[in-house]
Amino acid sequence: MKNLLFILLLIGNTAGAQTDEALVKEVVNTAYVSGIQNGGSIADIRKGFHPTFQMLRFIDNDVKPFGIEEWIAAIEKNRAQANVTPAPRTEGKFISVTVSGTAANVVLELYRGDKKIFTDNLLLYKFNEGWRIVSKTFYRHP
């Protein structure tokens, strides 16, 4: 009887806790899909991306890094242009999420309408303040 009570108490205490996988998905959805791809708040972007974040772009057979502050500046510039019409909503589809201790790897496909536009590979670390995106590579679909 004591063992059953202990098990029920243990289940009750962990039922409300989010798994690391769920927390990783939440950061990716809030900071990246909603924040960057769909015009969300810059504060949400900064909260979800580590200040040392680098997007590694493959251009002309070379790797060109692009930091988060450069990316945010480009986003703010585009948002400030009054004549720019908003892009259709981007939807993210998680292909895989792998969590190993304080490191996570996410493969995410992005769609606009029925068209796949990107396959992203995001790397995250779990800091004292929570999960944050530290790196991205991607493939832009034709």
Task: For 47-90, write each residue's pLDDT tens digit.
Answer: 999 999 999 999 999 999 999 999 999 999 988 886 767 678 99
Task: For 9-20, write each residue's pLDDT tens digit.
Answer: 444 444 457 999
Answer whether residue 13 is part of any domain.
no
Query: What CATH number is associated with residue 90?
Result: 3.10.450.50
Answer whether residue 9 is part of any domain.
no
Alpha-carbon distance of 121 to 55, in angstroms, equals 10
Alpha-carbon distance of 125 to 71, in angstroms, equals 20
Q: Which domain holds residue 91?
A: 19-140
Answer whether residue 26 is part of any domain.
yes
Alpha-carbon distance of 86 to 5, in angstroms, equals 55
Q: Give the pLDDT band of residue 3 (cuts 50, 70, 90).
A: low
Task: For 84-100, write each residue's pLDDT tens digit.
Answer: 676 789 999 999 999 99
Answer whether residue 77 is part of any domain.
yes
Answer whether residue 2 is part of any domain.
no
Whether 121 and 134 have beta carbons less than 8 Å apart is answered as no
Total domains present in the chain: 1
* Average pLDDT, rounded, for the chain: 90
Alpha-carbon distance of 57 to 107, in angstroms, equals 16
Answer whether residue 136 is part of any domain.
yes
Alpha-carbon distance of 113 to 91, in angstroms, equals 8
Answer whether residue 98 is part of any domain.
yes
